Structure 1
Amino acid sequence: MIQKKIAIIGTVGLPAKYGGFETLTEYLTKHLTDSFDVTVYCSSFFYPKKLKSHNNAQLKYIPLNANGVQSILYDIISIFNALFYADVLLILGVSGCVVLPFIKLISNKVIIVNIDGLEWKRAKWGKAAKIFLKFSERVAVTYADRVVSDNKVIQDYVKYVYNINSELIAYGADHTKKEALSSGVVSEYPFLAKKYAFKVCRIEPENNIYLILHSFSEHPSLDIVVIGNWNNSNYGKEMKLKFNNFENIHLLDPIYDQNILNQIRSNCYFYVHGHSAGGTNPSLVEAMYLELPIITYGINYNLETTANKAKYFNNKNELLKIVSNIKQEELNEIAKDMKNVANNVYTWKVVSAGYANLFLLNSK
């Protein structure tokens, strides 16, 4: 039987190093390359050493940055290149989807778009970028053969705004595993010997960094460890300058060693999640799979992801009240609930099966 040819477009590339879409692509290729002929587009900007394949998927390199303004052209070139051989184009994100009306005129290839939350709502974008991304979202949803939403809230939004039924497929988290703290890691980060809350994320206003750090600056009896890209923006530098001198606040640069990251995550008192935009966040579902107690910003995406079984805050006073009053027994119960939800919903077997079913469908 001839395998369908799948092109995955819109990520930085493989091997995965950078973000949620890259991790998704990593595990889709691990699970699906026995059944499909998969090609993944990669940015030469991030991969000076170019591999021919990874996880039995072929890799193609585009000499552009996969992030920022260049990502539009990066995606568009990838889309046009894929038309020459692929049966199905899986496009992750909407920035390059402005060309889909033309693509549908000249091709009958199946187009699947994961719209990646409501990207145009993110605070980091200026007015022009938001207008462009909202337009790209509309074009993507209108001209794709299938639309993927990673969260029920996003799925409901697509139905309400565009009257289109999208497929609900989230992210997997079972690639993470609990790790005991090693003496070497504690030696490098001595504050881990104490009780600490934990957060890992991009340092952006919409992730409520200020709200969280401000709360812990007023609760010196509990430490917090936050890992993020502090030096990549003026906002990050401002937050680091403002809060780095508090004895109970520990702001770490990105840690790419998965073993060390898992050690620090696995042994926290609870996980704080501040995201207020997007859909299902990979770092949140990973924390759930690690059976961590979750205290999260109470936006609808996060309530949906955690099945309304975590602890929620919407301002500094609410977070302070939770941190000051929560008991170990309650944290233990939340942790069990998070693990049960993750086991049922957020596994790569479930996610990969969802995408495989879409790949086998014909165009609408």
Structure 2
Amino acid sequence: MPDLVKHRVAILGTVGVPANYGGFETLAENLVGYHEETGNSLELTVYCSSKGADSQPARYRSAALEYVGFDANGVQSIPYDMVGLFDAVRKGHDRLLLLGVSGALILPLLKLFSRARVITNVDGIEWKREKWKGLAKHYLRFAEFVAVKASDEVIADNQAIADYLKEAYGCEAHVIPYGGDHAVEADPDPLAVANLPDGYALGLCRIEPENNIAMILEAFDGLGMPLVFVGNWDKSRYGRELKHKYAGHPTITIHDPVYDPRGLRAIRDGASLYLHGHSAGGTNPALVEMMHFGIPIAAHGCAFNRHTTEGRALYFTSAAELRALLSQMSAGEAKAIGETMCEIASRRYTWASIGRAYFELLEA
């Protein structure tokens, strides 16, 4: 009886593991965790950026690590992904899990000399994000086209993205979102909330226009409800101007970014309401993480957020609309929404179910 083929999987397109950056990194880390905990027989390799890395260990948990000498974000993400893909094929990986489309232009070339199965998570509809202009926007749109056409399987993290891919390219994407239950696993650090008000509403995200930070701050200006907004305010002119405008506000606390899991857990535990202003992307990791905390959520009313929350959260598209929603919300309604968010999260957004879906696709 012939030996079963032991497939070799490469995960590409992230900064690397252990995760210390964003959603794709958290996904990669949890896929490694699922691989280790289930004793999955696939051989797993994660490609990492050597830029800024303090060390370059050969392994992380059950995964081998390979390093590429470019940044994984910005314009360098293009050669970073391309070099990683070429190296993965050269080293005999027959399953390529590509997270994002930056380096997808090399996929047709790889197909000429490799039979590796390519599975691409297209992320959000990147070219539609406000931060991309001119040539970058056109490149990302073309890269999306190539990724969809040259991949063997395509993953969308939200049904709204799957609907878009079907309409734009006739592509039947697999809908696999993100897990969020890791957010409630860390022990809270009480020092992180020592100087915060009681019963605050919480905003927590990267400070970018498409996340509608200004809209949320405007809604809370004069509302009387305390708001703590955590983010990387000093990263952009947009953030710095908002930080300056609301510095010293009597009910709005402009908080620097928090990356420590224990600090994040404490800040989330102390919130009575979560504000989610993202209007682009797909299933946003911050949203599914907060759904596990069982508090009411007010989200921008775009299709992505409505799909993620199954239409059961509060939705707004303007500062006036948000202010009215919060002014009218009763304690009973808040409790019911929070319980519903937690039920949806437990049913749809756990890493055990996400890991199972990814590895079924990789093993197929």
TM-score normalised per structure 2: 0.95
Matched, 1:95 2:130: no
Deviates more, 1:146-155 or 1:246-255: 246-255
Matched, 1:134 2:141: yes
Unaligned runs of 5+ in 1: none
What's 1:150 paired with? 157
What's 1:316 paired with? 319
Structure 2: distance between partners of 1:182 and 1:69: 37
Matched, 1:83 2:89: yes
Q: C-alpha deviations, 1:30-66, integer Å up to 9, x for none?
A: 1124212111111111312112111211111111111
What's 1:269 paired with? 272
Structure 2: distance between partners of 1:137 and 1:181: 40
What's 2:203 paired with? 199
SS at match of 1:83: helix
SS at match of 1:175: helix
1:53 corresponds to which letter in structure 2? R
Matched, 1:307 2:310: yes
What's 1:234 paired with? 237
SS at match of 1:48: coil
Q: C-alpha deviations, 1:166-224, integer Å up to 9, x for none?
A: 1110001111217897653343xx223x22100111110000011001111131x1111
Matched, 1:216 2:223: no
What's 1:72 paired with? 78
Q: Is the 8 A contact 1:197 1:224 kept in 2?
A: yes
Q: C-alpha deviations, 1:258-291, integer Å up to 9, x for none?
A: 1111111122110000000000000000000121
Q: Is the 8 A contact 2:193 2:266 kept in 1?
A: no
Q: What's the CA shift for 1:152? A: 0.5
Structure 2: distance between partners of 1:69 and 1:26: 24
Q: Is the 8 A contact 2:283 2:304 kept in 1?
A: yes
Number of aligned residue pairs: give it: 357
Structure 2: distance between partners of 1:183 and 1:5: 43
What's 2:295 paired with? 292
SS at match of 2:30: helix
Structure 2: distance between partners of 1:183 and 1:94: 40
Matched, 1:110 2:117: yes
Q: Which of 116, 122, 137 pairs up with 2:129? A: 122
Alignment of 1:179-194 (within 5 A): 183-187=190-194, 190-192=195-197, 194=198
Q: Is the 8 A contact 1:178 1:290 kept in 2?
A: no
Q: Is the 8 A contact 2:162 2:173 kept in 1?
A: yes
Provide the aligned C-alpha RMSD in A.
1.4
Matched, 1:166 2:170: no
Structure 2: distance between partners of 1:23 and 1:50: 19
Q: Which of 9, 16, 21 pairs up with 1:18? A: 21
Q: What's the CA shift for 1:314? A: 0.7
Q: C-alpha deviations, 1:91-145, integer Å up to 9, x for none?
A: 0000100111111112110000000010111101112111100000000000100
Task: Specify whether residues 179 and 263 from structure 1 end up closer, same or farther in structure 2 by C-alpha distance, changes over 3 A only.
Answer: farther
What's 1:51 paired with? 57
Q: What's the CA shift for 1:3? A: 2.9
What's 2:32 paired with? 29
Q: C-alpha deviations, 1:134-167, integer Å up to 9, x for none?
A: 0000000001000000000011111111011111
Structure 1: distance between partners of 2:64 and 2:212: 39
Q: Is the 8 A contact 2:205 2:230 kept in 1?
A: yes
Q: Is the 8 A contact 1:210 1:239 kept in 2?
A: yes
Q: Is the 8 A contact 1:171 1:280 kept in 2?
A: yes
Q: Is the 8 A contact 2:193 2:270 kept in 1?
A: no
TM-score normalised per structure 1: 0.95
What's 1:325 paired with? 328
User: Identity over the aligned pairs, expressed in percent?
Assistant: 42
Structure 1: distance between partners of 2:282 and 2:345: 16
Task: Specify whether residues 117 and 324 from structure 1 end up closer, same or farther in structure 2 by C-alpha distance, changes over 3 A only.
Answer: same
Unaligned runs of 5+ in 2: none
2:118 corresponds to which letter in structure 1? I
Structure 1: distance between partners of 2:59 and 2:189: 34
